[in-house]
Amino acid sequence: GDSVTQMEGPVTLSEEAFLTINCTYTATGYPSLFWYVQYPGEGLQLLLKATKADDKGSNKGFEATYRKETTSFHLEKGSVQVSDSAVYFCALSDTGRRALTFGSGTRLQVQP
Amino acid sequence: DAGVTQSPTHLIKTRGQQVTLRCSPISGHKSVSWYQQVLGQGPQFIFQYYEKEERGRGNFPDRFSARQFPNYSSELNVNALLLGDSALYLCASSPEGGARNTIYFGEGSWLTVV
């Protein structure tokens, strides 16, 4: 079945540091890939998405590129802020399914 | 425009009781999905409804049931509550039921079973 694997957290960075959160997936067909963010005490917010190979999703300084050859969708940001502290979830939606499959989440803590 | 709204936001139930959670999708969205998020884990898919019909079901016992109303709002029911049902229950909506549509989540209902 479909699965998503994320790097374990927490990831602790200083403000303005470079961020990478790794995500790899297993799926049949050609899934769409997503990054969601969850701030403390809140629901999930869509951060960015990519629907086909080599697409780059971007939003609020975050980027991720759909790499079919490595089945990866790593999240990057050039300069993190304290306000980026949250839990980040990688997810996929396969062609034949009507649901998202999520990774276990990666907690990011940014220190001033 | 209002986002996905859920009620109640927090509730505490006793083992063996039943609970009903409610969800109103974004205006114009016809598909509603339910997810369970246990503390420290990613959300797990429970149900999807589109145009009042169940279109998908995750690996959850029959104690979990749901329905969608003509106005596209939805209810999730859980019977015979167990301690392990304690979780954040997330409702999500999308314009259609297709797998590639962007899904928008509500803030969730926190259920504690004691």
The confidence score (pLDDT) of residue B103 equals 86
The confidence score (pLDDT) of residue B113 equals 98
C-alpha pair distances (Å), B72 with each of A18, A20, A50, B4: 43, 39, 28, 12
The confidence score (pLDDT) of residue A96 equals 61
Residue from the list B48, B55, B105 with its beta carbon closest to the beta carbon of A43: B105
What are the phi and psi torsion angles at A83 (to 5°)? -70, -10
State yes or no: pLDDT of A88 exceeds 60.
yes
* CB contact at 8 A, B40 and A6: no
Inter-chain residue contact A46 with B103, CB threshold 8 Å: yes
DSSP helix, strand, coil percent of chain A (3-state; round to 5): 5, 50, 45
pLDDT tens readout for residues A7-23: 888 999 999 999 999 99
* CB contact at 8 A, B45 and A100: yes
pLDDT band at B96 (very low <50, low <70, confident <90, very high): confident
State yes or no: pLDDT of B2 exceeds 90.
no
> pLDDT exceeding 90 applies to what percent of chain A?
77
Chain A residues inside the 8 Å CB shell of B40: 104-105
Residue from the list A36, A95, A104 with its beta carbon closest to the beta carbon of B41: A104
State yes or no: pLDDT of A34 exceeds 80.
yes
State yes or no: pLDDT of B100 exceeds 90.
no
Inter-chain residue contact B33 with A97, CB threshold 8 Å: no
Inter-chain residue contact A100 with B41, CB threshold 8 Å: no
B25 in contact with A, Cβ within 8 Å: no
Inter-chain residue contact A43 with B98, CB threshold 8 Å: no
B2-37 burial by CB neighbour count: b if 16+ within 10 A, else e? ebbbbeeeeeebeeeeebebebbbbeebbbbbbbbb
